[in-house]
Amino acid sequence: MACMAESSVATESVSTDTVAFGSVPTELGDVLAAVTADGLVATAFTDSPHIRAAIASRLGLTDTGDAAPAAGVLAQLREYFRGKRRAFDVAVDWRLMSEAQRRVLRTLYETVPYGKVVTYGELATRSGSGIPPRGIGSIMGSNPIPIVVPCHRVVAGDGLGGFSGGTGVESKRRLLTLEGYLPPGLW
């Protein structure tokens, strides 16, 4: 199993009507994490007041203004980017996804471990969703929790495929290199 569906790392004191934000500086940018009482609900490759406000608005929640409730998630992201963590042990809040997105992304989260990849077609079959490979690509592009729900591990049958996070395919390449799937390059 790539990641744990249930977490031993609880979110600290987030009320049900708030969301907590925090970020981790990485070579890909300041990776933002948004945490609700139910768990990690969103990540982004950039941290800004605009992005925080957009996530809070989409959730219909108020920003706590306190990063402490996100501390566990942020610590695990730091470990991941330092090459010291292969699986995330955080609760995931799936609320920003439709049922079809949730089915496909949960399958990805639970079955594709660190350093491994799956093609869009293989994930379509594995999820049993009936969604064609091109639709799987759209779901990966709309994943609200990249990195932790590892859409970077989904590739085309003939190459890396696309990526909408960070700087696009270059970010995907760097994440797959970090995980040892791709050899280090000259970039």
CA distance 133 to 124: 6
Is residue 187 one of the residues assigned to a domain?
A: no
Phi, psi angle pair for 149, to nearest 5°: -95, 100
CA distance 154 to 137: 8
The count of domains in the chain is 2
Domain range for 18: 1-95
CA distance 85 to 76: 7
pTM of the model: 0.90
Residues 6+ apart with CB under 8 A from 126: 107, 111, 118
CA distance 30 to 185: 22
Which positions are catalytic? 151
pLDDT at position 186, please? 58
Is residue 21 one of the residues assigned to a domain?
A: yes
Is residue 186 one of the residues assigned to a domain?
A: no
Residues 106 and 81 in one domain: no
Is residue 46 one of the residues assigned to a domain?
A: yes
pLDDT at position 12, please? 56
Is residue 9 one of the residues assigned to a domain?
A: yes
pLDDT at position 185, please? 77
DSSP string, 106-164: HHHHHH--TT--EEHHHHHHHHT----HHHHHHHHHT-SSTTTS-GGGEEBTTB-----
**One pLDDT digit (tens) per residue for the chain, 187 residues:** 444 444 444 445 677 899 999 999 999 999 999 999 999 999 999 999 999 999 999 999 999 999 999 999 999 999 999 999 999 999 999 999 999 999 999 999 999 999 999 999 999 999 999 999 999 999 999 999 999 999 999 999 999 999 999 999 999 999 999 999 999 975 5
Is residue 174 one of the residues assigned to a domain?
A: yes
Domain boundary among 77, 95, 113: 95
CATH of the domain at 118: 1.10.10.10
| Residue 172, both tokens | 């995907």
Residues 7 and 88 in one domain: yes
Domain boundary among 95, 118, 147: 95
Domain boundary among 95, 126, 153: 95
Residues 83 and 132 in one domain: no
Residues 103 and 153 in one domain: yes
Secondary structure of residue 30 in the 3-state scheme: strand
Residues 6 and 85 in one domain: yes
| Residue 146, both tokens | 């990249």
Are residues 136 and 104 in contact, defined by beta-carbon separation less than 8 angstroms?
yes
Nearest to 22 by CA among 100, 82, 76: 76
CA distance 139 to 74: 25
Residues 20 and 73 in one domain: yes
- DSSP annotation of 12 reads P
| Residue 101, both tokens | 């997105």
Residues 71 and 141 in one domain: no
| Residue 66, both tokens | 């306190």
Residues 76 and 130 in one domain: no
Is residue 185 one of the residues assigned to a domain?
A: no
